[in-house]
Amino acid sequence: MEIYVIRHTEVNIPKGICYGQSDVNIQSNHRIDFEKIKASIPDDIDAFITSPLSRCVQLCQYLSDSFLMDERLMECNFGDWELLPWDDIPRHEMDVWGNDFVYQSPPNGESLHQISKRVIDIHQEILQQSYDKIVVVTHASVVRVFHHIYQNIPLENIFDVKVNFGEVFKFSTKSNSE
């Protein structure tokens, strides 16, 4: 199976704002990015699945008339920090989270470990299907968890993986020897 994991296109929100599960809009000039993304994936996709946040749904609607939505593909829930400027988040809260972001969550949010559990869960469900090729439209943290799964990158190191807006990553369940 080939799994094409795509991060949504650039959002229309000021730089330096913490957003995760907040439903923010994408840039108005997204059409060019959508066309580039569509050109970079095969035409014979068996299924499309997306985060229910509009920044992902809009891209998925452009790519296909038929798709599934799954909340497990949503971005990190930053809890009380959602839509705050990063600079306004109390330093002590940032330090607690930053010292163990794998298991520590922002106040009323979720940890990277919690995100990875839900992504691994949906990934296992995808593998149970008889798809040859599937597209997953999602967010940066979810893309990074796919890197964790396929490249054995420890969770504490997945922020080393650069994930650009609109970037397409291809993962394969086939081993190199097949």
Domains of the chain: residue spans and CATH: 2-172 (3.40.50.1240)
What string of DSSP letters covers 77-124? --GGGTTSBGGGS-HHHHHHHHHTTTT---TTS--HHHHHHHHHHHHH
Please state whether 113 falls in left (phi above 0), alpha (psi between -120 and 50) or beta: alpha
Phi-psi region of 16 (alpha: psi -120 to 50; beta: other; left: phi over 0): left
pLDDT value at residue 174: 76
- What sign has the CA pseudo-torsion 153, 155, 157, 161? positive
Are 38 and 94 in contact by the 8 Å Cβ rule? The answer is: no
CB-count burial class (<10 Å; 0-12, 13-18, 19+) for 84: middle
Residues in the chain where the model's pLDDT stays below 50: 176-178
| pLDDT value of position 34 | 97
For 47, phi then psi, to 5°, come to -155, 150
Q: Are strands 133-138 and 2-7 parallel, antiparallel or unpaired?
A: parallel
| pTM of structure | 0.93
Q: Are strands 168-172 and 2-7 parallel, antiparallel or unpaired?
A: antiparallel
Q: How far is 106 from 125, CA to CA, in rounded Å?
A: 28
Percent of the chain with pLDDT over 90: 95
Average per-residue pLDDT for the chain? 95
Q: What is the pLDDT at residue 178?
A: 39
CB 118 within 8 A of CB 111: no
